[in-house]
Chain A
Amino acid sequence: MSSTFVPDRWIPGERLTGRLPATEQTLADGELAAPLVGVLALQGDVLEHLRALRRVGARAVQVKTAAQLAEVDALVLPGGESTTIGKLLVRFELLAPLQARIADGLPVLATCAGMILLSDELDQVEPQPLVGGLHVRTRRNAFGRQLDSFDTRLEVVGIDGGPMDVAFIRAPRVEEILADDVEVLASVDGYPVVVRQGLLWAAAFHPEVTGDDRLHAAFVATVRGA
């Protein structure tokens, strides 16, 4: 016997067939105890994160409202356009509730635009809304424009089984670590690109687009233990 988790409604990037949502998840008995991980779904590659989380055994839902945010055990801040997501967090009154949950110890995995949003400071003059919490100063588009976007393999501390297969797309990097409790798990050209500060994890690349789920698996394992 199994129970079917209520599937999300159609999400950008999803099948166009309507009847068979590929994101539907069937969990075996007992797996209802799996952590419920939200993916902030204001804009960006939400679907790729939902799929990666489900592949590693989490229950995953999109988060568009404060009510949905209140229910999740952990949150993913996806890739996308950080200025857009930040403005929408403010306009839909999600920024303060999200900051409050992070202050209360909500585990967060942030990739690319997510890493920018989770940073305390940015290396730029123009202001943009940030969630903050991760004590780093980050630089947007640090590797250049789209022509400089790249695929690579990268060793990440704590991720076994060889280098990760990752894509850096108009990616940021950490310019400066602002507190002692931030661990650097991977670097490119001497700049941190994967960092961890307790339950806050951030990667400058997109593990969700390459199908290398090991970072998601490690994050979900931490959430289970938290």
Chain B
Amino acid sequence: MRPSDPPPSSAAPQTGTTRVKRGLADMLKGGVIMDVVTPEQARIAEEAGAVAVMALERVPADIRRDGGVARMSDPDMVDGIIEAVSIPVMAKARIGHFVEAQVLQSLGVDYIDESEVLTPADEAHHIDKWRFDVPFVCGATNLGEALRRLAEGAAMIRSKGEAGTGNVVEATRHMRAIAGEIRRLTTMDETELYAAAKEHRAPVELVRECAETGRLPVVLFTAGGIATPADAAMMLQLGADGVFVGSGIFKSGNPEQRARAIVEATTHFEDPGVIAKVSRGLGEAMVGINLDTLPEDQKYAQRGW
């Protein structure tokens, strides 16, 4: 694990520091990041109030439908989306595929998502994210997984959920797991923290930091299955700092209106009156998949180690 950067000692600007990597995620808090596959969708997302867009070739629901190997997007598509909007642009690399990450950094994306939604390129190793100046967000299903990603240099965490299902149950499970495990750490004494680090298979320094601060050292978003304004607000009430919405917007009946509604519900996540108001007349949500009918080998959340 790399220690945090010392404060700059001269006026010479320093890029790629842990502080500016984590800092960009801080600026996204309370916001919605939307999956987009075309410049036109990116403009719709920006107009709806997205704080950032995630550029990818197919939304997770289509990756499920089409099957095959899912990879990093065509650079032309990423460039087109960067051109289309003024908000930050994120893009996905396969787990462990450090060359896809190098390519995305060279394209100037603002964040890379090392994502289980794409087909993993390495079944043992994630990308060594400290080697990059661009910040990374990674998925996690529990606290140990989140801390292992931080040890590899991730600057932001998202709970995984089960992408492309329109079913929020896995996102709920992962948010409750991460928040609950942190709450347990806060009640432990120093000796117990060593055992907890072993149990979570995570560096004790990071475990201790969570115990002291009562949260992850980075911003925690949620992802995977969010389809309605109420889903988004529920995730914030469970302790998410913001939400990623993938298939839930552009696989619904009225993407513009649904995207706006999810943004507004995320801002007023504790006000059921606002959530009710923005939920009216949204049209069809994406159909959704029940998790018990999903074959084991199609559960993306199990990817990553």
Q: Are A16 and B27 in touch, CB under 8 angstroms?
A: no
Q: Are B49 and A147 in touch, CB under 8 angstroms?
A: no
- Main DSSP-derived SS at the B contact region: loop
Q: Tell me whether B86 is interfacial, beta carbon within 8 Å.
A: yes
Q: Tell me whether B200 is interfacial, beta carbon within 8 Å.
A: no
Interface size class of A (residues with CB under 8 A): 35 or more
- For residue A29, which residues in chain B have a CB less than 8 angstroms away from its CB? none
A153 and B11 in contact, given A80-B30, A170-B24 (Cβ under 8 angstroms)? yes
- For residue B10, which residues in chain A have a CB less than 8 angstroms away from its CB? 153
Q: Are B26 and A209 in touch, CB under 8 angstroms?
A: yes
Closest residue of A by beta carbon distance from B20: A149
What's the minimum C-beta distance from B101 to chain A, rounded to whole angstroms? 13
Interface residues of B in 82-137 (CB under 8 A from A): 86-88, 105, 108-111, 133-135
A84 to B182, CA, bound (A): 31
Q: Tell me whether A4 is interfacial, beta carbon within 8 Å.
A: no
- For residue B182, which residues in chain A have a CB less than 8 angstroms away from its CB? 16-17
Q: Tell me whether B242 is interfacial, beta carbon within 8 Å.
A: yes
Closest residue of B by beta carbon distance from A149: B20
Q: Tell me whether A46 is interfacial, beta carbon within 8 Å.
A: yes
Q: Tell me whether A167 is interfacial, beta carbon within 8 Å.
A: yes
A153 to B180, CA, bound (A): 39
Q: Are A12 and B179 in touch, CB under 8 angstroms?
A: no
Q: Produce 1/0 per residue, B29-51, CB < 8 A to A.
A: 11100000000000000110111
Complex partner residue of B268 from A12, A15, A64, CB under 8 angstroms: A64
Closest residue of B by beta carbon distance from A188: B13
- For residue A42, which residues in chain B have a CB less than 8 angstroms away from its CB? 30, 267
Q: Are B239 and A16 in touch, CB under 8 angstroms?
A: yes
Q: Tell me whether B67 is interfacial, beta carbon within 8 Å.
A: no
Q: Are B219 and A13 in touch, CB under 8 angstroms?
A: yes
Q: Are A80 and B27 in touch, CB under 8 angstroms?
A: yes
A165 to B17, CA, bound (A): 13
A-B contacts at CB below 8 angstroms, number: 166
Q: Tell me whether B145 is interfacial, beta carbon within 8 Å.
A: no
- For residue B183, which residues in chain A have a CB less than 8 angstroms away from its CB? 16-18
Q: Tell me whether A196 is interfacial, beta carbon within 8 Å.
A: no
A25 to B84, CA, bound (A): 44
A24 to B16, CA, bound (A): 33
Q: Which residues of A contact B (CB under 8 A)?
A: 9-10, 12-18, 20, 22, 41-48, 64, 79-81, 83-84, 87-88, 91-92, 112-113, 124, 126, 140-141, 145-154, 163, 165, 167-170, 206, 209-210
25 contacts between A and B (CB under 8 A): A12-B30, A12-B240, A13-B29, A13-B219, A16-B215, A17-B182, A22-B214, A43-B29, A44-B30, A44-B31, A80-B27, A80-B28, A80-B51, A81-B52, A83-B86, A84-B31, A84-B87, A88-B49, A92-B264, A147-B108, A150-B14, A152-B8, A152-B11, A168-B13, A210-B19
Q: Which 3 A-B pairs have the closest CB atoms?
A: A15-B214, A150-B13, A146-B110
Q: Which residues of B contact A (CB under 8 A)?
A: 5, 7-17, 19-20, 23-24, 26-31, 46-47, 49-52, 86-88, 105, 108-111, 133-135, 179, 182-183, 186, 213-215, 219, 236-237, 239-242, 260, 263-264, 267-268, 270
Q: What 13 additional pairs, Cβ within 8 angstroms, besides A43-B51, A81-B28, A84-B49?
A: A16-B183, A17-B214, A41-B30, A45-B26, A81-B27, A81-B87, A84-B31, A91-B264, A141-B86, A147-B15, A169-B20, A170-B88, A210-B19
